[in-house]
Chain A
Amino acid sequence: MKKTGLFYGVNTKKTALIGKEIQEAFGENKADIVAVEEAGKKSFEQYDNLIIGASTWFDGELPTYWDELLPELENLKMKGKKVAIFGLGDQEGYPENFVDGIGLLAEFFEASGAEIVGHTSIEGYTFEGSRALRDGKFLGLAIDQENQSDLTGSRIAAWVKQLKKEFN
C-alpha cells in the first residue's frame, strides 16, 4: 500500500488547521502528519504520495520553516513520487502574489523529480498574479481563510476526492 505523508508546519495556526481538515477528509490513518519544523530529507523520501502545505509570507515568500529546510532537501530523490500542495493566501490583501508559496514549493519538488498533482481551477478566485499559476490552473489547492473561509470545507473535500484518484 502506498504511503501518504501530510507535511505542514504544526506550530502554525491557520495552516495547521487546514492540514488537519485535509487529514480528516482523507479518512482515519490514511495520511501521516509530518511536522515540517522537524522534517529532514528522509522524512520526504519515505512516502510515495506527499501532501505539503505552506502559507505565503510577505510579498511572495515561503515561511522561514520551509525556507530553512529547502537547502537540506537539495538532492532529494523524488522520482516516481507524487506531490500535492495546498497553500494559504489572501487574494484581497495580497492579490499580486496570491498563494505564491504553492508555486515555490511546486518548482522545488518538480526539480527533485516529483510529479505535481492536485491542480485546481482558478474559478471563484479574484487575484492579479500568482506564482502558483500554470496553464490557467493552480498547481495545488488555494485556500483563502481571510476572504472565503466559507468555501474552505467544500474546496478541501473536492480536492481530497481528486487526490484520492490522482494518488493511485
Chain B
Amino acid sequence: MKKYDIKTTDKETLKKWFHLMTLGRAIDEKAPAYLLQSLGWSYHAPYAGHDGIQLAVGQVFEKGQDFMFPYYRDMLTVLSAGLTIEEILLNGLSKATDISSGGRHMSNHFAKVNWHIENVSSAVASHDTHAVGVARAMVYYKHKGVAITLHGESSTSEGYVYEAINGASNEKLPVIFVIQDNGYGISVPKKDQTANRKVADNFVGMKNLRIIHCNGKDVFDSMNAMTEAREYAIETSNPVIVQANCVRIGSHSNSDKHTLYRDEDELSYVKAADPLLKFRRMLLRYKRFSEKELKEIEAEAKKELSVANRKAISAPDPDPKTIHNFVIPEPYKPKVYVDGTHNKDGEKINMVTAINETLKAEFRKNPDTFLFGQDVANRDKGGVFNVSKGMQQEFGENRVYNAPIAEDYIVGTANGMSRFDPKIRVVIEGAEFADYFWPAMNQYVECTHDYWRSNGQFSPNITLRLASGGYIGGGLYHSQNIEGALTTLPGARIVYPSFADDAAGLLRTSLRSEGLTVFMEPKALYNAVEASTVVPDDFEVPFGKARIRRSGADLTLVTYGNTTHLSLQAAEQLAKEGIGSVEVIDLRSLLPLDKGTIFESIKKTSKVLIVHEDKVFSGFGAEVAATIADEMFRYLDAPIQRVGSTFTPVGFNPILERAILPNAALIYEAAKKQIQY
C-alpha cells in the first residue's frame, strides 16, 4: 500500500503541496523578469517539469536530522524544505543578506547552512562525495539521518559520481542520490551521455545499493519513492538512487535557447506533461478541491510573492570592502613556541618519526580526528612511507582507514565529514604521491572555495598530506612538486617543511586549526639524517613564519623543502672558502608567505637568490621574486636570481634526474655569482 495517493492523502497536506508548487512556479516564472529589469538573477535554471520530485525531496527532508545538497535547479526543493520566498529571492538577487552566500555565489545556488541545506559548487555533482562524507560521519557518531544529494542525469557522466556511489555502496552509508532526469545536459541529449536511457541502471551491479525509479512529474509517485528511499537508507544504513523521470519545460537556463535544438513537437509534449497542471487537474477530478479553492490558493501565493519581492529588491547589496573576509579561517596561534623555534637538546629523530608521533599525539588529545588515504592502514603497513604506522592499531578502524584509489573521493569525503560538525579534524593522504593528486583538483578547488563561498559559514577542516618532490630516482610520476599549481588558489594554507621539528610543529598547528592546510612532505627527507632534529613533545610552528636556518650578511637565500639542505651545503662551502656569508631562510609556509622575514634579510644583504626544487619557470619562486621586485627594489644591489629544475618533467634514469633537479653545486655557483655581482 502506497502511503500517498490522490484519494486518501489528507486535504491539509494536499493544500500545502499545491501552495508550495504554485508559489515555486510563480518564482520560477518571475526570475527571468529580474534580469530583464537589470535587477539581477543573471543565472536562472528553471525547474518547471521537475515539480513532483522536488516537492517530495523537500517534504521528506528532516531538518535537524538530514543533510541536503541541492543543485542549481532545486528551487522548489528548498522551498519545500522550508526556505522562505524572501530567502530565495535574496539569493536570486545576490544581496548582502542572502543566507546562502551574501551575494558571493551565483544566483540559483540556494542554501541554508544552519539547517544543513548545504552551499554547493556549480561544478555538477561535486557535492556527491560531500554527501558520502557527511553520511560517514553520521554513521560514526550514530546520528540518525540521511544525506540527500541532487543533480541531473547528465552529471552521472562525471567520474566522481561513480566514485561517490561506489564509496557509499562499499561503506554502506545512508545517502540518497536523487537523479532528476530531464533528458538533457544543457543541449546534450541523454544518448550522448551514456548507453542506458535510465542512467541509474548503470549502477545496478553495485552491492548494498537500492535503485528506485519514479515519475518525477508526479507528486504522489515522487512522494512515495522518496519516503521509501529515506526509510530504507535509515533502516539499513545503505545508499539509494532515486531516478526521477522529469521533463525540462524551459531552456537549460536563461543563457540557453532551447528552440535551437528542440522541435515544436517536443516542446508541446513536454508542456503537456507539466506536473503542476497534472496535480491541479487531479485535485479537481477527484474532488479534493473546488476550482474556487484552488484559485484562492493561487491568489494567496501571488500575494506572498509580491510582498517578498518588495522586501528583497530593497535589501542591501554586498559591500565591496568585504571581499577579503572569509578567505580562510584564522588559524590556531601557538602559545608556547610563538615564532616556531626552540633550543631543546636531546635525541634527534627523523622526519617520518616526527610526523608519525605528532599525528599520534594529536589523535590522543582530540577524539574527533580521523585519518584516511590510500594504503595508509593495513596491518603493519602504515602508508607507502610508514608515516601512519601503528595508528590504526591504536585508534581503531573507524578513525584510521584505507581509502579506495580515488583521489577526488578522498578529498571530497573529507570535506563532507567536516560538514557534520566543526569539531572534526580530518587528515588525509590526498594521494600516494603528490604526482597522483591531479584527479582531486576539482575537490581541492571546492575546499578552497567553501569558506569564502559560504560567507564564512562552512570551512573544511582538513590537513591534506602529500608526499612530494624528487631525489629518489622516481621519474615523472614520483617526483613532482605541485605547489606552484596550488598556491594560486586562495583558501588554503600550504606548508613545506624541510626539518623534522618544523614538520611536527606545522602538523600540530594544522590539526588544531580550522580550514584547509596542505602539508607537503619532502619524501626524500623522511629518513634523511640531515633533516633529523630534536623535536620537543609539544612543538608548534605558526603558519606564515619562516625560519632562518643560517645567518648571513652577503646574500639572502630563500628556499624550502629539499633544497633547504642543498642550500645549506652551498652556504657552508661559500663560507669555508671565504666567498661570503649566506643567510638561508627556510620558508616553511608558502601560503601565507612570511614577507617580513625575507624583507628584513634583504635590507641587510641587498641581494637575493631564490631556490626551490620545482621548475624555475612559473614555480612558486616566481611569485616570491615578483613580490620582492614590487616591494624591495630599492634595497637590491643585484637582480633577483632563481635556481630550480629545468622546464622539463623529471627523468627516471639517475643521469637524467641529476641533469634536471637542482643540486648544491648549481646553488653554490648561483650564490657565488650573486655575492660577487
Interface residues in chain A, defined as those with a beta carbon under 8 Å from any beta carbon in chain B: 57-59, 61, 64, 67-68, 71-72, 74, 94, 96-97
Contacts and interface: CB of A to CB of B under 8 A. Distances in A.
Contacts of A57: 269, 273
B57 to A, nearest CB: 20
B272 A64 contact: yes
B245 A68 contact: no
Interface in B250-280: 269, 272-273, 278
- Among all A-B residue pairs, the 8 with the closest Cβ atoms: A71-B6, A96-B197, A59-B197, A58-B245, A59-B245, A64-B278, A68-B282, A59-B198
B196 interface: yes
Interface of B: 5-7, 181, 183, 196-198, 215, 218, 245, 247, 269, 272-273, 278, 281-282, 285-286
Contact of A97 (B197, B215, B278): B197
B246 to A, nearest CB: 9
B286 A64 contact: no
Nearest to A96: B197
Contacts of B278: 64, 67-68
Nearest to B183: A58
A93 B281 CA distance: 30
Contact of A71 (B7, B181, B215): B7
Given A58-B245, A59-B197, A96-B197, A64 B7 contact: no
Given A64-B273, A68-B281, A71-B5, 9 more contacts: A57-B269, A59-B198, A59-B245, A61-B215, A64-B278, A68-B282, A71-B6, A71-B282, A74-B7
A33 B196 CA distance: 38
Contacts of A74: 7
A61 B245 contact: yes
A96 B282 contact: no
A98 B613 CA distance: 61
Nearest to A58: B245
A70 B183 CA distance: 26
Contacts of B215: 61, 67
15 contacts: A57-B269, A59-B181, A59-B197, A59-B198, A59-B245, A61-B215, A61-B245, A64-B278, A67-B215, A68-B282, A72-B285, A72-B286, A94-B197, A96-B198, A97-B197
Contacts of B269: 57
B272 A71 contact: no
B225 to A, nearest CB: 14
A43 B282 CA distance: 19
A68 B285 contact: yes
A74 B7 CA distance: 10
Contacts of B181: 59
Nearest to A69: B285
Nearest to A71: B6
Nearest to B279: A68
Nearest to B270: A58
A42 to B, nearest CB: 15
Contacts of B272: 64
B632 to A, nearest CB: 65
Contacts of B198: 59, 96
A153 to B, nearest CB: 24
Contacts of B281: 68
A97 to B, nearest CB: 7
Contacts of B247: 58
Contacts of A64: 272-273, 278
Nearest to A13: B265
A74 B227 CA distance: 22
B529 to A, nearest CB: 65
A112 to B, nearest CB: 16
A96 B218 contact: no
A71 B6 CA distance: 7
A57 B198 CA distance: 14
Nearest to B265: A13
A59 B183 CA distance: 10
A55 to B, nearest CB: 10
Nearest to A40: B285
A96 B243 CA distance: 15
A72 B285 CA distance: 9
B376 to A, nearest CB: 42
Contacts of B286: 71-72
Contacts of A68: 278, 281-282, 285
Contacts of A94: 197
B157 to A, nearest CB: 17
A33 B208 CA distance: 49
A61 B183 CA distance: 14
A57 B272 CA distance: 11
B7 A67 contact: no
A103 to B, nearest CB: 14
A68 B279 CA distance: 9
A12 to B, nearest CB: 10
A61 B278 CA distance: 14
Most chain B CB within 10 A, of A59, A68, A71, A97, is at A59
B192 to A, nearest CB: 14
Nearest to B190: A59
B552 to A, nearest CB: 73
Contacts of B273: 57-58, 64
Contacts of A59: 181, 197-198, 245
Nearest to A67: B218
A29 to B, nearest CB: 31
Contacts of A71: 5-7, 282, 286
B253 to A, nearest CB: 22
Contacts of B7: 71, 74
B49 to A, nearest CB: 11
A58 B190 CA distance: 12
A20 to B, nearest CB: 21
B255 to A, nearest CB: 26
B1 to A, nearest CB: 12
Contacts of B196: 96
A96 B202 CA distance: 13
B197 to A, nearest CB: 5
A72 B286 CA distance: 8
B282 to A, nearest CB: 6
Contacts of B285: 68, 72
A130 B198 CA distance: 13
B87 to A, nearest CB: 33
A43 to B, nearest CB: 14
A59 B245 CA distance: 7
A11 to B, nearest CB: 10
Nearest to B281: A68
Contacts of A61: 215, 245
